[in-house]
Structure 1
Amino acid sequence: MLQAYRQPQRLADWSAADWDLLLRQSVAAYLLAGLLALVEEHGLLARLPDQVREHLEWARTLAERHQQGVRYEVAMITRALAGCELPLILLKGAAYTMAGLPAARGRLYSDVDILVPAASLPDVEAALMMHGWAATHHDAYDQRYYRVWMHELPPMRHVLRNAVIDVHHAILPLTARVRPDPDKLRAAAAPIAGAEGLYTLAPADLVLHSAVHLFYDGEFDHGLRDLVDIHRLLLHFGADPAFWPALTARAAELQLARPLFYALRYCAQLLHTPVPADAVRAAAGAAPGPLLLGLMDFLFHRALLPVHASCNDRWSAPARFCLYLRGNWLRMPPPLLARHLFHKAFLSPKEAKKQRE
């Protein structure tokens, strides 16, 4: 899988067995439609075996239908929040799609994420409920977990369309060890051309948010897909030499130099993303010590691969579990983390069983 992104121009020379494995890995990584985008960007589709093209054309149909659905859902959200009189800042996949960024090509995702001021949360939630969205987490502990400690409301699902929206007021939880100022993110947001009232984060902030999502979250089911997002954003915005010093300076301003260091390191190591030497040196100032960095390499080099038997070794599952614990450790102080893990491990299953009965 990684070799496809490192040397895409050689894909036309791959054997049928290589392609069979690549397609399986791409499905596991949620990157099948992204693989089509990669192939087409290098003009290779016509040179591929017929069966491979058939798989990729199926992925095209799915990706096109997905983008249509996202655009419709964003229109419905815009309509629902019209009375709130605030700019609608899209995050992650929806932002890439509506802004027409290369990172949107073949990018599949399950929800639409938006960023609003914390003070506007009651109005935004009420407006969405009036238009058919409802909270998905009804457990009292989960409600408190989201509303008191987290950076978002409990996910909301539309009762008819089943579409999910995540309403964020920040990009890291209130309990996290670092807290990028959401006011700075909103102040720098850029309007989306041709989409009145819709905004995305500024280019550097798009990269930093993607890095935070990957390296602070602790969930790696889509790890490679999220790393490919950063890779594509860097290729796109990095064509402007002024972007790189702005990126590292913004990371320092928002206390996000460490996740940026990891993003640049693993994009370069795993995907061969071209990162200027000056940016590498600037990011290296936030690197952990040699022993910790060696451990992080050991863990991330496994967790960022597709969750597929051909990519796993005996340490892959333990690596993902360790990074899951690390993600929670970064997001919560120790007493809260211990309470949260205890509740999820022992109390939540009992409560779910009672509800089923």
Structure 2
Amino acid sequence: MADKRYTPGQSVLLACLKKPQSVTVLTVSQWSLLLRMAKTCKLTAHVAWWIDQHNLSHSVPDKVINHFQAARAVVAYRRRMAFWEMNRLQRALAECDTDIVVLKGCAYLLAEIPFAHARLFADVDIMVEKSTIDRIEQSLLAQNWQTLKLDAYDQSYYRVWMHEIPPLRHVSRTMEVDIHHTIIPPTSELRPDPALLMRDAINLNNTPFKVLSPCDMVLHSAVHLFFDSDLGNKLRDLVDLDQLLKHFNAGNVDFFDGLLKRADMLGLQRPLYYTLRYSHQLLATPIPNDILQRSQTFAPPVPVRVLMDALIPVALLPEHPDESSLAVRFARWLLYMRSHYLRMPLKLLIPHLARKSLMRFTRVQSVS
């Protein structure tokens, strides 16, 4: 029986992600629906990889294979661009003599986490010590990277309130570089110590870069999804977390225990709670029952939990590309406002939103 909480498109996509054997009984129209839903949330190549991992490629119709091959080609192209950008960064920053920690998608590639080779991403994220960030930025600017935020207010906003400087891009390439000094805006109530993240980062073979430790990699992804975004159509980010949890747990029976302790140490209990709860609920991520029980100590008050249970699946899951729901837009708007509130106290947030609204209105007026 179909789950009435989800649309037919959401159901067929979630079924594939939870139990890939479900694709063996899909009709032609369901395959079409699966493709459209996966494309909406940038998961087409991942779905293709996931089906291959379970030796189910023989069940894929020829026309669908063509779509999968095209998605793989796009991912491979972006992967080459990312590796080349990291190569150029390595060369440009060789004299800076500082640790550089690669984050998110590129980190998954460097750490050779299997799902990363089917992951579509748009930029290169790195983290450095705050004391070195000006020197690194100036070095890149001197070598033909350019800042992408030319507005004086945006420049000031990034440098004073954010956890990163304005994004950079080389004049001859299209891949953006985001340079962080921590993993969440310092104005947030969550304030993990970046020194601990840098201290425990892992050296990699054949590269000068580092990546976060397994626990920190999960926690950063959790923070990025549940505290630094509006969750709108972000199923791909939850899939990242699902794959990271599976990968790291497979190689370490004590991984989940260490993850809870690390979240406690860094003050990131709530993002981890949401990660475990919704990856288990939506993607059937295998999480031991005792870990789920222990994570309840990280839960929000009951009214907040009930509200999040109502909002997150609605906002997170993709809509059918030909349909638009008022309920989805409202859920995403509420979570968008929540993300701003979590990043910045009201005394800073209200003037910031007012200023941005005025700037947007002024731009519209100047065009019209």
Query: Which TM-score applies when normalising by structure 2?
Result: 0.93
Amino acid at match of 2:189: R
Instruction: For residue 118 of structure 2, give the secondary structure of its aligned residue in structure 1.
Output: coil
Matches within 5 A, 1:125-274: 125-195=137-207, 197-239=208-250, 240-274=252-286
Residue 54 (1) aligns with residue 46 (2): no
Contact conserved, 1:152 with 1:170, CA < 8 A, in 2? yes
Q: String of CA shifts for 1:115-154, please: whole Å, max 9, x gaps.
A: 0000001111011112221111111110111000000000
Which residue of structure 2 lines up, in the alignment, with residue 71 of structure 1? 83
Q: String of CA shifts for 1:75-105, please: whole Å, max 9, x gaps.
A: 1111111111112210000101122112313
Query: Deviation at 1:241?
Result: 1.3
Equivalent pairs counted in the alignment come to: 355
Separation (CA, whole Å) in 1 of partners of 2:312 and 2:323: 13
* Structure 2 residue corresponding to 1:297, chosen from 309, 329, 333: 309
Instruction: For residue 131 of structure 1, give the secondary structure of its aligned residue in structure 2.
Output: coil
Amino acid at match of 1:336: L
Q: String of CA shifts for 1:237-280, please: whole Å, max 9, x gaps.
A: 01221111100000011110000000010000000000011211
Contact conserved, 1:5 with 1:271, CA < 8 A, in 2? yes
Q: String of CA shifts for 1:312-349, please: whole Å, max 9, x gaps.
A: 64311111110010001001010111011111222244
Query: Deviation at 1:26?
Result: 0.6
Of all paired residues, the percent bearing the same amino acid is 40
* Structure 1 residue corresponding to 2:118, chosen from 103, 106, 130: 106
Which runs of 5 or more structure 2 residues have no equivalent in the other structure? 1-12
Q: String of CA shifts for 1:169-216, please: whole Å, max 9, x gaps.
A: 000111111110000000000012332x11100000000000000001
Separation (CA, whole Å) in 2 of partners of 1:253 and 1:262: 17
Moved more, 79-88 or 218-227: 218-227
Separation (CA, whole Å) in 2 of partners of 1:311 and 1:246: 43
Separation (CA, whole Å) in 2 of partners of 1:311 and 1:229: 26
CA RMSD of aligned residues (A): 1.6
Which residue of structure 2 lines up, in the alignment, with residue 288 of structure 1? 300
Which residue of structure 2 lines up, in the alignment, with residue 41 of structure 1? 53
Amino acid at match of 1:236: H
Which residue of structure 1 lines up, in the alignment, with residue 330 of structure 2? 318
Separation (CA, whole Å) in 2 of partners of 1:311 and 1:45: 30
Which residue of structure 2 lines up, in the alignment, with residue 84 of structure 1? 96
Which residue of structure 2 lines up, in the alignment, with residue 120 of structure 1? 132
Separation (CA, whole Å) in 1 of partners of 2:162 and 2:277: 28
Separation (CA, whole Å) in 2 of partners of 1:92 and 1:352: 35
Which residue of structure 2 lines up, in the alignment, with residue 14 of structure 1? 26
Contact conserved, 1:30 with 1:222, CA < 8 A, in 2? no
**Structure 1 pair 110–251 and aligned structure 2 pair: CA distance change class (3 A):** same
Query: Deviation at 1:351?
Result: 4.9
Separation (CA, whole Å) in 2 of partners of 1:89 and 1:352: 40
Contact conserved, 2:146 with 2:171, CA < 8 A, in 1? yes
* Structure 2 residue corresponding to 1:340, chosen from 349, 352, 368: 352
Contact conserved, 2:125 with 2:178, CA < 8 A, in 1? yes
Separation (CA, whole Å) in 1 of partners of 2:91 and 2:35: 39
Query: Deviation at 1:308?
Result: 3.1
Instruction: For residue 105 of structure 1, give the secondary structure of its aligned residue in structure 2.
Output: helix
**Structure 1 pair 353–157 and aligned structure 2 pair: CA distance change class (3 A):** farther
Which runs of 5 or more structure 1 residues have no equivalent in the other structure? none
Separation (CA, whole Å) in 1 of partners of 2:87 and 2:297: 42
